């Protein structure tokens, strides 16, 4: 591992912990992604994490708050980290190829199929509360299906 990789690894620790501390499981390899996707029944909330400011100030806080307020809790909370866990992120994106790669982003999967996707364009520049409410509404709708 070179000095840059080591530096970035240290930088992203709190960004990872923000989600893992809220109950998310990190999928670090393509194999872990495949294992999750082949075994998960029900709703999975997938956060494609990122080092950018809109992930820190908007996406992660919105996801955490939505989970605290919504009644329809997903069965699975998982995350991959774009730019850090490249193989895992690429593999997760393979499961919803119909949407362009975007980070940060939020995917809601039902029985392994994409039910809803919130791309960076619907995160960056929006108030955190609006993103939270958007995700809460999506989770309630998917649970009702």
Query: pLDDT tens digit string along 10-47?
Result: 889 999 999 999 999 999 999 999 999 999 999 999 99
Q: What is the pLDDT of residue 118?
A: 97
Closest CA to 43 of 103, 108, 105: 108
Q: What is the mean pLDDT of residues 128-143?
A: 96
Q: What is the pLDDT of residue 97?
A: 93
Domain ranges of the chain: 3-140
Question: Nearest 5°: phi and psi at 11?
Answer: -65, -40
Angle between helices 128-144 and 60-69 (to 10 degrees): 50
Q: What is the pLDDT of residue 9?
A: 79
Q: What is the DSSP track for 12-67? A: HHHHHHHHHTTTPEE--SHHHHHHHHHH--SEEEEEEE-SSHHIIIIIHHHHHHHH
8 Å CB contact between 133 and 68: no
Show which residues are catalytic: 52, 54
How is domain 3-140 classified at the CATH fold level? Glutaredoxin (3.40.30)
8 Å CB contact between 74 and 22: no
Q: What is the pLDDT of residue 130?
A: 97
**pTM of the predicted protein model:** 0.94
Q: What is the pLDDT of residue 52?
A: 86
8 Å CB contact between 76 and 21: no
pLDDT-derived band of residue 8, with 50, 70 and 90 as boundaries? Answer: confident
In the predicted model, is pLDDT for residue 1 greater than 80?
no
Q: What is the mean pLDDT of residues 49-56?
A: 89
DSSP label of 122: G
- CA-to-CA separations, 75 to 16, 23, 39, 102, in angstroms, rounded: 20, 11, 12, 24
């Amino acid at each position: 591992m070179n000095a840059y990789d080591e530096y970035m690894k240290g930088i992203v620790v709190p960004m990872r912990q923000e989600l893992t501390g809220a109950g998310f499981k990190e999928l670090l390899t393509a194999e872990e992604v495949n294992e999750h996707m082949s075994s998960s029944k029900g709703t999975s909330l997938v956060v494609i994490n990122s080092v950018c400011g809109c992930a820190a100030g908007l996406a992660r806080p919105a996801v955490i708050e939505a989970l605290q307020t919504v009644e329809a809790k997903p069965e699975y909370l998982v995350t991959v980290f774009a730019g850090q866990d490249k193989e895992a992120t690429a593999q997760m994106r393979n499961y919803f190829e119909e949407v362009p790669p975007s980070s940060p982003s939020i995917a809601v999967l039902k029985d392994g199929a994409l039910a809803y996707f919130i791309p960076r364009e619907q995160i960056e520049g929006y108030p955190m509360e609006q993103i939270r409410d958007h995700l809460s509404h999506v989770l309630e709708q998917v649970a009702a299906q």
